[in-house]
Amino acid sequence: MAGELVAGVLLGPSVLGMVAPHVTGAVVNADGTPTTAISAVGTLAVVLLVGLAATELDGPFLRGNARKIGVISGVSFVIPLVAGIGLGLVLPARYVGDGTNTGDGTSTTEFAVLLGVAMSVSAIPVIARILGDLDLLRTRLGRLILSAGTLTDLAAWVALAAVSALATVGLRAWHLPLTLLAMIGSIAVALVARPVIGRLLTRLESGGHDAQSTAVMVITMVAGAAATDAMHLEAVLGALLAGIACGRRPERVVAPLRLVTTAVLAPVFLASAGLHVDLRALASPGVAGVAVGVIAVAVVAKLVGGYLGARLARLSRWESMAVGSGLNARGVVEIIIATTGLSLGIFSEETYMIVVVMAVVTSVMAGPMVAAAARRCRPDTGRSDLVGAESAQHGT
Contact status, residue 207 vs residue 158, Cβ threshold 8 Å: no
| pLDDT at residue 257, rounded to an integer | 92
Count Cβ atoms below 10 Å from residue 107 Cβ, excluding itself.
Answer: 15
Q: What is the rounded CA–CA span in Å between residue 239 and residue 20?
A: 38
284 phi, psi to nearest 5 deg: -80, 120
| Residues recorded for the chain | 396
Distances (CA, A) of 263 to 49, 242, 256: 11, 22, 10
| pLDDT at residue 159, rounded to an integer | 83
Q: What is the rounded CA–CA span in Å between residue 228 and residue 215?
A: 20
Q: Tell me the chain's radius of gyration from C-alpha atoms.
A: 20
Q: What is the rounded CA–CA span in Å between residue 356 and residue 332?
A: 9
Contact status, residue 351 vs residue 92, Cβ threshold 8 Å: no
Q: What is the rounded CA–CA span in Å between residue 355 and residue 115?
A: 8
Q: What is the rounded CA–CA span in Å between residue 250 and residue 319?
A: 29
| pLDDT at residue 237, rounded to an integer | 83
| Amino acid in position 112 | A
Q: What is the rounded CA–CA span in Å between residue 9 and residue 276?
A: 7
Looking at every residue in the chain, the average pLDDT score rounds to 82
Q: What is the rounded CA–CA span in Å between residue 220 and residue 202?
A: 15
* First-last CA distance in the chain: 29
Contact status, residue 364 vs residue 329, Cβ threshold 8 Å: no
Q: What is the rounded CA–CA span in Å between residue 345 and residue 125?
A: 27
| Beta strand residue intervals within the chain, DSSP E | none
**Three-point CA angle 169, 170, 176, nearest 5°:** 95
Distances (CA, A) of 78 to 17, 74, 122, 297, 302: 40, 6, 13, 14, 9
| pLDDT at residue 343, rounded to an integer | 81
| pLDDT at residue 79, rounded to an integer | 96
Residues of the chain with pLDDT under 50: 173, 379-383, 389-396
390 phi, psi to nearest 5 deg: -75, 140
Q: With the C-alpha atoms ordered 78, 79, 80, 83, is the resulting torsion angle positive or negative? A: positive
Tell how far CA 111 is from the center of its chain: 18
